[in-house]
């Protein structure tokens, strides 16, 4: 399988999470990935606050994400057990085969090392592994998320995932700047990826162009 079932992955980083080490000093981090639990709520709240342009939610909302949606979310923890990356998501109630990705956050000091992409692959893989065994939930066949057009890193992250899975990615308006946000927020576009095939995780091929 392309995406390892292992919950650990080593990174060679050029600076530490608190950026206190000398610039460009190589530091090897061994990250640990797992679902989110209520005790992660405070760390998630702080991470999201450090990851503009994400909307900051209330701590209560983050606690609910880590409770009710913890199993459809993932966190990346450094060796000091600090949360340095997260994806929060949930299965859309009427369409349980669709995972809605609510927010992706990678600490600014950890970006550009494919941590965001890695978490997305691991999350989908773990959900499909669980559903195949004991959860009774259907496999995730579609991923949806909303992105503003100025967020190039996020668009590239999801386009790259679609490409890796050799499946289409489409775009439409989800919440309009004028109609839904009273001009206080840019239009949120719905990006929909799928269908995902089980063999999507066996090899990387093809073209996930945004249509």
Binding residues for ligand COA (CB under 6 A): 51, 53-54, 103-106, 111-117, 147, 151-154, 156-157, 160
Q: In whole angstroms, how close is the CB of 147 to ligand COA at the nearest point?
A: 6
Going by C-alpha positions, the residue among 199, 166, 154 that lies closest to residue 52 is 154
Residue nearest to ligand COA (CB): 116
| Cα–Cα distance list, 120 to 89, 103, 114, 159, 175 (Å) | 10, 11, 10, 12, 23
Which strand (E) or helix (H) includes residue 59? helix 59-68
* 104 vs 123, beta carbon nearer ligand COA: 104
**Residues 116, 98: Cα–Cα separation, whole Å:** 19
| Smallest distance from ligand COA to CB 132, Å | 26
Residue nearer to ligand COA on the CB measure, 101 or 140:
101
C-alpha to C-alpha distance for 167 and 140, rounded to whole angstroms: 13
Q: What's the rounded Cα separation, in Å, for the pair 120 and 131?
A: 17
- Closest approach, Cβ 191 to ligand COA, in A, equals 10
- Between 164 and 196, CB nearer to ligand COA: 164
**Cβ at position 63, least distance to ligand COA in Å:** 19
Looking at the Cβ atoms of 104 and 140, the one nearer to ligand COA is 104
């Amino acid at each position: 399988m392309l995406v390892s079932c292992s919950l650990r992955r080593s990174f060679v980083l050029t600076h530490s999470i608190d950026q206190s080490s000398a610039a460009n000093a190589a530091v090897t981090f061994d990250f640990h990935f797992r679902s989110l639990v209520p005790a992660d709520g405070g760390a998630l709240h702080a991470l999201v606050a450090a990851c503009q342009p994400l909307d900051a939610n209330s701590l209560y909302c983050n606690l609910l994400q880590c409770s009710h949606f913890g199993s459809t979310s993932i966190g990346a923890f450094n060796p000091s057990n600090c949360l340095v990356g997260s994806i929060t998501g949930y299965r859309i109630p009427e369409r349980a085969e669709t995972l809605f990705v609510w927010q992706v956050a990678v600490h600014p000091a950890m970006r550009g090392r494919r941590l965001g992409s890695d978490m997305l692959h691991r999350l989908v893989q773990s959900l499909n592994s669980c559903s195949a065994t004991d959860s009774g939930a259907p496999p995730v066949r579609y991923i949806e998320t909303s992105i503003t057009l100025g967020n190039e890193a996020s668009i590239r992250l999801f386009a790259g995932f679609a490409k890796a899975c050799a499946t289409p990615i489409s775009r439409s308006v989800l919440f309009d700047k004028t109609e839904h946000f009273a001009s206080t927020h840019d239009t949120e576009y719905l990006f929909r990826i799928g269908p995902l095939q089980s063999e999507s995780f066996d090899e990387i091929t093809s073209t996930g162009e945004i249509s």
